[in-house]
Copies of this chain bind each other. A is one copy, B any other.
């Protein structure tokens, strides 16, 4: 299996190594040279948004060029198969309540790839809760009861657990009453319900909400949480089911590669990996896309899937609209730290835990059993009390071991904060950003369309589902414009 230059691996008997094997690494890295061909569409970025757009464009018969700065597909979602076991470096969990991702899993005949992350059949079947008041253990039933109670208080802004103010998660502003929460942060909302929160409940809701946002109490928008909650059927257990329970046996890269292969099969796909875009010029009859290496490509349309936090790094002419410039400069808040640990004890398979607020990782949970029979646990940190795992392995190990005594055999991770093509994880807006910028982020600029889960319209913005949705929409628009037999263009 080819090796990506991305990701890190550490083991006690080795040193810290950069680069991990992945079936998402594309070889040869390009099938296109210098060319004066005017493509129908250039897709910038090969995350799920770009992969979906490229697949739908190529299968519609459009000559498509896919440009990607990385050496692999998947963007913020990719897996590294180590000894046959997939570690998910970014996006992981899926569910049949996520329509776009599930439609694709079903279409590719991958329904039998779904497996549970949880397994409560082993000996260490408990939840560790370490807060300001010390550490204790409780059953997973007690854990769920505590977290459900806390989350319900957090979202119950309308006496109907959010269902009145947000009845359609995929059309989140349908009831305009919801806009009263547009500028609210997690901290603001907690202040409103503080009188009704026990210390445990406050630790529970803060740790859970920060797991979701990857930000801080003050910089994370409450509105995003309300949408996740609505998309998760206004129910804590269903929210867990949809965001953190069901993953793919083959790993996400085993799913993403299907999109790429289907596109390639059409013979309409040109591609170049290790090819970062520096400039997009839409002032002429065709759009010109310049790479950092100085190559130039041309197309009738461009679908730009560059994430919010790095969108400003590309030079657009005409310039990005004001919303895009401002939002990209502000950045979304998600600086999630995700660290996998292989733990020697197989009985840890039933464990989960929270350490908050005094640890550099906030939530941990058993996620699988490795081929060696070890327990695979995954840990999440956020921008509050942030850590760069690659800079200080000992500190990272200490953070892992703060959850419970653990014999760590291996660490695997990707530092998304330092990632030049993402500068963060899944999108989580700052208070006010959604109302102020979402529309402008979604706006096309002439022949250049902007597609990304970061500004997807649906209920699962920031998820793989939102990426696929966004890529689907963009490809359909381009197809309708370029293949339409009607005399009027929609441009």
Q: Interface on A for B, CB 8 Å cutoff?
A: 59-61, 96-100, 102-103, 106-107, 109, 111-112, 114, 116, 167-171, 174, 231, 233, 235, 238, 265-267, 457-459, 469, 472-473, 476, 479-480, 483-485
Contact = CB atoms under 8 A, between A and B. Distances in A.
Contacts of A111: 168, 170-171, 457-458
Given A100-B106, A106-B458, A459-B96, A114 B267 contact: no
Given A61-B61, A103-B472, A265-B485, 4 more contacts: A60-B60, A96-B169, A109-B473, A114-B168
Nearest to A100: B103
Nearest to A112: B171
14 contacts: A59-B479, A96-B169, A96-B170, A96-B231, A99-B99, A99-B100, A99-B106, A100-B103, A106-B473, A111-B168, A111-B170, A233-B233, A233-B238, A265-B484
A235 B265 CA distance: 43
Contact of A265 (B116, B168, B472, B483): B483
A199 to B, nearest CB: 31
Contacts of A100: 99, 103, 106
A329 B98 CA distance: 37
A60 to B, nearest CB: 6
3 closest Cβ contacts across the A-B interface?
A: A99-B102, A99-B99, A103-B103
B114 A171 contact: yes
A106 B170 CA distance: 9
Contacts of A116: 167
A469 B109 CA distance: 11
A107 B231 CA distance: 18
A238 B116 CA distance: 22
A480 B473 CA distance: 23
Contacts of A238: 233
Contact of A59 (B59, B98, B103, B167): B59
Contacts of A168: 96, 111, 114
B99 A96 contact: yes
Given A169-B96, A171-B111, A483-B266, A106 B59 contact: no
B97 A96 contact: yes
Contacts of A231: 96
A107 B485 contact: no
A452 to B, nearest CB: 16
A400 to B, nearest CB: 30
A259 to B, nearest CB: 13
Nearest to A108: B476
A109 B59 CA distance: 21
A83 B257 CA distance: 50
A423 to B, nearest CB: 28
Contacts of A169: 96
Contacts of A174: 112
A103 B99 contact: yes
Contacts of A266: 483
Contacts of A167: 116
* Residue among A97, A106, A235, A476 with max Cβ neighbours from chain B (10 Å): A106
A107 B476 CA distance: 8
A265 B484 CA distance: 7
Contact of A472 (B59, B107, B472, B476): B107
Contacts of A102: 99, 170
Nearest to A456: B106
Given A59-B59, A171-B112, A473 B107 contact: yes
Contacts of A103: 99-100, 103, 469, 472
